[in-house]
A and B are shown apart, each in its own frame.
Chain A
Amino acid sequence: MTTAVLFAHWPDWIGDLSGGLLESVKLTAAISAVGLPLGLLLAMGSSLGPRPLRWLSIAVVEVARGVPALVVLYLVYFGLPQAHLTLEAFVAATIALGFTMAGYTAEIFRAGINAVPDGQREAARAVGLRRGQELLYVVLPQAVRIVIPPILGYVVLFFQATSLAFAVAIPELISRAYTIGSSTFEYLNVLILAALLYAAIAIPASQLVDWLERRRDRLA
């Protein structure tokens, strides 16, 4: 096979695949909208909450990190209908991958919360802030600043993980590439194009994350 043949159909496919890429990006946004706030809540629960909440948060994080995202996705998509809760594929993927993302990012948020020096909390109390205010105005703003680069790193990772949604037939990038492949039998060509589209987003994005990380460390 020559290169000419490899590229021959790329112009025909790029429109369809771009639509798939957009779907992947949308799913990434939805997953992050669920996973990041939930991850922050789990982190607060496991590092600041009362003991029972602390244990519960740690258990949820362990499960979210211990079970493959694909299994969680199947559990939500195929399992919940049994509990009379049938979800659309996009919603199921958002919940499942959001849950997994929460488990991973909870650890990051927790490290960020613990990295805020104790003196900051003592000072907040000394100036008479209530516990909620101390958290909201003193601890979280500093913690979030520390964790922004690694959290964005996870957003990039979960952009790639949206490809798992292939398994529940969401028409995202890899599903569309697979569909084109199965109808034209030009699997290799279309898969390479899809792979390059993922890389075109993921590689610059993770380089941006590295840059943010270096900048944060320099300013610290």
Chain B
Amino acid sequence: MSSVVDYLGPLSAGIGNTLLITFGAFGIGAAIGIPIALARSARWRPLRMLGVAYVELLRGIPPIAWLFIAFYGLAQLGIRVESMPAAVGGLGAISGAYMAEIYRAGLRAVPHGQFEAGRAVGLTESGLYRHVIVPQAIVTVFPPAMTYVIGLLKDSAIASVIGAQEITALALGEQQQSFAGLPIFLAAGIIYMAIGLPLGGISRWVDVRLTRRLADA
């Protein structure tokens, strides 16, 4: 029986796609999360309802269902999306909902007086956000956002069900050839942990530095 070590090499070929799905989806989520968070706290009720509906539906339906809709569902409408873009787009749309909630919590954590003080010293709205609010909110936003990235790393495995050739799909391919499931999926698990643990370490390091920088400012 071949050992776990033998599979680390072949499965590593999927790391690139795994990272592409993880960070691609996060990038989309981090970007679209901003307008969704704004809609979610808008004064105009229809817009607010739209924001709420987006967040609730994207979070209330399993990722695998969204990936199937992006991959098989859209194809029925004649829109053919390859598995990688479908995975990145599907998980990105979900990330948008989670990131919107993280941004909202970050904005709420900035004391109201900071907004008033910024306006009182004559900052413009954009200056207020750039120099006063965002530097403070980012300290609250960063830890849950990093936790979410690590969660996405694990969710990226779901992309294998629509055929994206990432780590889990390669492991499944090996399994179908050799039926050596034990070492194969152990190797896959080790690779995910080897990516996830340093990510967690980096996030703690940056978090400490961000908190310190804010304290010094």
Chain A residues at the B interface, C-beta cutoff of 8 Å: 1, 62-63, 66-72, 74-75, 77-83, 160-161, 163-164, 166-167, 174, 177-178, 181, 185-189, 191-192, 194-195, 198-199, 202-203, 206
Contact bitstring B142-163, A, C-beta under 8 A = 1, else 0: 0000000000011111101100
A163 touches B193 (CB 8 A): no
Q: Report which residue of A68, A161, A199 has the largest number of chain B beta carbons within 10 angstroms of its beta carbon.
A: A68
Top 9 A-B pairs, shortest CB-CB distance: A78-B181, A68-B157, A75-B185, A188-B73, A79-B182, A79-B181, A187-B72, A163-B62, A67-B189
Smallest CB gap from A189: residue in B: B76
**CA distance in complex: A160, B56 (Å):** 13
Task: Report yes or no: B168 in contact with A67, Cβ–Cβ below 8 A.
Answer: no
**CB of B26 closer than 8 Å to a CB of A:** no
Question: In the bound complex, how far is the Cα of B55 from the Cα of A206, in angstroms?
Answer: 12
- In addition to A163-B63, A199-B57, 6 A-B residue pairs with Cβ atoms within 8 Å of each other are A66-B189, A70-B168, A77-B181, A166-B161, A174-B64, A188-B77
Mind listing 14 A-B residue pairs with CB under 8 Å? A62-B193, A67-B193, A68-B168, A77-B181, A166-B64, A174-B65, A178-B68, A187-B73, A188-B69, A188-B73, A191-B65, A191-B68, A191-B72, A195-B61
Interface bin, chain B: 35 or more
Q: How far is the CA of A174 from the CA of B73 in the complex (A)?
A: 13
Tell me the dominant secondary structure on chain B's binding face.
helix
The A contact surface, by secondary structure, is helix
Most chain-A Cβ atoms within 10 A of its Cβ — which of B57, B65, B66, B184?
A: B65
A71, B69: Cβ atoms under 8 Å? no
Given known contacts A188-B73, A199-B60, A203-B56, is B154 in contact with A69 (CB within 8 Å)?
yes
Q: Least Cβ distance of B2 to chain A in Å?
A: 11
B61 touches A188 (CB 8 A): no
> CA–CA, A202 to B66, complex, Å?
15
Q: Are B60 and A202 touching (Cβ within 8 A)? A: yes
In the complex, whether B192 has a CB less than 8 A from a CB of chain A is yes
- Distance in angstroms from A206 CB to nearest chain B CB is 7
Question: Do B181 and A67 touch (CB < 8 A)?
Answer: no
Q: Are B61 and A199 closer than 8 Å at their CB atoms?
A: yes
**Minimum distance in angstroms from B46 CB to a CB of chain A:** 19
Instruction: Please tell me if the beta carbons of A66 and B171 are within 8 angstroms of each other in the complex.
Output: no
Q: How far is the CA of A69 from the CA of B157 in the complex (A)?
A: 9
Residues in A with CB closer than 8 Å to B188 are 67, 71, 74
Q: Which residues of A contact B175 (CB under 8 A)?
A: 74, 78
State the CA gap A206–B180 with chains docked (Å).
40
Q: B200's closest neighbor in chain A, by CB?
A: A66
A192 and B73 form a contact (CB under 8 A) = yes
A70-B160, A195-B61 are known contacts. Are A187 and B192 too (CB-CB below 8 A)? no
Q: Are the C-beta atoms of A163 and B64 separated by less than 8 Å?
A: yes
Residue of A70, A185, A188 near B157 (CB, 8 A) is A70
Which residue on chain B has the smallest CB distance to residue A194? Answer: B65
Min CB gap B145→A, angstroms: 17
Q: Cβ of B76 and Cβ of A82 under 8 Å apart?
A: no
In the complex with contacts A178-B68, A188-B77, A71-B60 CB distance below 8 A: no
Q: Which residues of B contact A161 (CB under 8 A)?
A: 62
A72, A186, A188: the one contacting B74 at CB < 8 Å is A188
